[in-house]
Structure 1
């Protein structure tokens, strides 16, 4: 009985200490129509299980979150993860983490490029998304985030078809203040959107997917608070892409990690 009590207390203590939870599943979203978002990519592990999202930014590179380092390959060209055939390109990847990233997204720099094993041919199902280099986001601006996975907190169930949801941009000062109430200081170069004063956002498994505003990728799904996706609670956190555009361009030009 004492062992069970100790285990119970330990589990709850760890849950309390775990302030940061990698982003995962779309909450209160809807199915993405075929032909839309052809830039979306599924990052998978050795068991061919979806672990993270990503997005195609060139014929040779996918952009995602640095903490998605357990992925071994990617699947392009399908919104339905049960329909991974010859029309859905499956490729191994070389991982190029941003050099300053260290172990956890809570320290920032949560961005990674994946170099595909083969150059892809662009078509209606496989295409690129532009990166925002200087877009100034406005408070409450409507953007969207997409991904695969379940729609409930703390479950391993995943949806098969790509989901998307509209979310608002949240003022950075407001975001910092809300997170500081839980004794968390956010890293620099992040965007806050969704999860706060709304029932929509991401959850564990959508990590690496794009925050899309005005048709361009402005952010990358990074983390939320304590794996709690029963929104509203604290704002969701995204890596701000425009800060890293010089590094991205240099890597794409050299076609190798820099």
Structure 2
């Protein structure tokens, strides 16, 4: 959390204190089978510690949250168990492509592409996940899911094996109302799901992971409230991927930021 605060201008300090921008954990989830969700990526620091989630959208790009840039030096692909990492085959050094309008999670545009410095095409147990092809609006109460290696309770610890939980999409106006009651104005281009009127959602160190509806990644884990994962609480907030498709497409076509 201190890293997140150091990047917030004084003007945003009170807002940043109200958010949990540095990741989020899976609450009341279950372990993911090895043959499922093989697009998931673990973003790691220089000491090979998990710091955020992400997901593979092409053979050389992972999509994640912009606030995950802090500390990230590599990406691990091809395993759900972080105790089983072949550094030679599964670890990829990366170049960060943060959205140019990103300032902090509270002001939105919390999206980033990571360019792998070698392609992931020959790695076993790795698949791509599709993105929306156009601007979409997810139906209220739609059941989606989110996964990560983060905490399983407030103040807990990260897990070694990937976990997933179903979450329902919250009406955006209700989401805005609940956050406004805590004196937080939601940024534009977000989706809300989980954490509200339910005991399921994300928490610390799941940031950057995908909100998956059907077979497509539609959102990116952005923030919850004050590191609190004792749900029900304010709705969990995700970046709406469909609003950034032109920016994503341009980078993937150029293969550079």
Q: 1:204 to 1:15 in 2, by over 3 A?
A: farther
Q: How far apart are residue 204 of structure 1 and its match? A: 1.1
- Cα deviation, 1:175-204, whole Å, max 9, x if unaligned, reads 001111111100000000000000000001
Whole-Å Cα distance in 2 between the matches of residues 34 and 240 of structure 1?
A: 27
Alignment of 1:186-197 (within 5 A): 186-197=186-197
Which residue of structure 1 lines up, in the alignment, with residue 151 of structure 2?
Answer: 150
Q: Which runs of 4+ in 1 moved over 2 A?
A: 14-17, 133-136
Alignment of 1:108-147 (within 5 A): 108-121=108-121, 125-132=125-132, 133-147=134-148
SS in 2 for 1:247: helix
Which residue of structure 2 lines up, in the alignment, with residue 163 of structure 1?
Answer: 163
Aligned partners of 2:200 and 2:231 also within 8 Å: yes
Which residue of structure 2 lines up, in the alignment, with residue 82 of structure 1?
Answer: 83
Task: Let me know the Cα RMSD of the aligned residues.
Answer: 1.7
Q: How far apart are residue 150 of structure 1 and its match? A: 2.2
Q: How far apart are residue 87 of structure 1 and its match? A: 8.1
Whole-Å Cα distance in 1 between the matches of residues 131 and 76 of structure 2?
A: 21
- Cα deviation, 1:39-91, whole Å, max 9, x if unaligned, reads 00000000100000000000000000000012100000000000001685101
Aligned partners of 2:89 and 2:123 also within 8 Å: no
- Cα deviation, 1:186-233, whole Å, max 9, x if unaligned, reads 000000000000000000100000000011000000000011000001
Which residue of structure 2 lines up, in the alignment, with residue 38 of structure 1?
Answer: 38
Gaps of 5+ in 2: 1-12
- Cα deviation, 1:134-162, whole Å, max 9, x if unaligned, reads 4431111000000002201123x211000
**TM-score normalised per structure 1:** 0.90
Aligned partners of 1:203 and 1:227 also within 8 Å: yes
Q: 1:79 to 1:15 in 2, by over 3 A?
A: farther
- Cα deviation, 1:81-137, whole Å, max 9, x if unaligned, reads 0000168510100000000001x2000000000000101115661010000134431
Gaps of 5+ in 1: 1-13
**Highest Rg: 1 or 2?**
1
Whole-Å Cα distance in 1 between the matches of residues 124 and 35 of structure 2?
A: 7
